[in-house]
Structure 1
């Protein structure tokens, strides 16, 4: 399991980002300290991310609890050992049952070895994950960021990030995914820290801890 960046490392990265981008400096100045988000890695981690997508927090928690109870040995072999009807009985939709099976098959077939992912470059790891049915670029990027602590990973398709970027740039419209990626180039090699900073700012504004921009 990876060790997330320390508070000192995050502070140093924040200072670097503020020094290279005045717009981000304004965000950095008012955003409270944050910790790196950490999620379960490996096969179970990607399974959980897919299962919980596009449903409410309460529904996601309830469905995942049923999946954990129904698949106590959460391995690719265990998933492939059950029929679709069983996966559906755990609360998965038909598309998600198909995606879960695709993730398991990819690992067993060797097309996406979860144990080998940490040794791949960012783009190689993203390519390996997005080759799996049901795994888009956003899912791959967030998974790699939260489970492997990749400091330069940036999920440009994330709506909350785009909104916080709009605030930072005092823009009337959110950037598109393509524009968000282009804008974030300035933040290399700490685009992942910039994402955490923007998320932290977005959350603080929504909780009314800091004033809207």
Structure 2
């Protein structure tokens, strides 16, 4: 099976059906969570900046900070605007010192031609993630989230994501949270649709938490 490009909800829904066909153990998750909505963000530096801003933050906090960052930069983040912004202005927008270092470091690397974000669309998901991790401050989680949300790569899979580990441990009755290594190994059965499985596991995690009375 060829990795599809998750360009819209209809493509995602077909990929979800294919995924459940690959692993019928996932059918009960769809019954609990429903059919997840496809998450997409713009590609390029603006999308990568949004992923960096969202690291270790709630969705609401990330949105608020990113909105202030856009106001500070006069629009969606660009390499040029990021390099022109002062550290003081970026801090006033709500960025932490590590995130300022990461975003300015990425902007410098892209301006110097050390990486071209556009070329990543043509690479296998794992190779594209590895290329992204060569940028300053980018780990595998951030790389995989960028590939999945910004490029629509159906096989990108952030196995280090805590919610995915908890969801799979619950769904497969593993007696607790699945380890990152275990999650990565199980996800091999889902290639080339691991990113579709990630969407389903996030939706399942949210549905289960909502039923338990906690905010999803």
1:1-213 map, 5 Å: 4-7=7-10, 9-72=11-74, 74-208=77-211
Q: 1:33 to 1:78 in 2, by over 3 A?
A: same
Q: Report how many aligned residue pairs link the two structures.
A: 207
Please report how far the alpha carbon of residue 29 of structure 1 lies from its aligned counterpart in structure 2 after TM superposition.
3.6
Gaps of at least 5 residues in structure 1 are none
Gaps of at least 5 residues in structure 2 are none
* Distance (Å, rounded) in 1 between the aligned partners of 2:136 and 2:116: 15
* Distance (Å, rounded) in 2 between the aligned partners of 1:82 and 1:133: 18
TM-score, with structure 2 as normaliser:
0.86
* Distance (Å, rounded) in 1 between the aligned partners of 2:168 and 2:7: 24
* Distance (Å, rounded) in 2 between the aligned partners of 1:61 and 1:191: 26
TM-score, with structure 1 as normaliser:
0.87
The root-mean-square deviation of aligned C-alpha atoms, in Å, is: 2.1
Please report how far the alpha carbon of residue 3 of structure 1 lies from its aligned counterpart in structure 2 after TM superposition.
6.1
Runs of 4+ in 1 over 4 A off after TM superposition: none
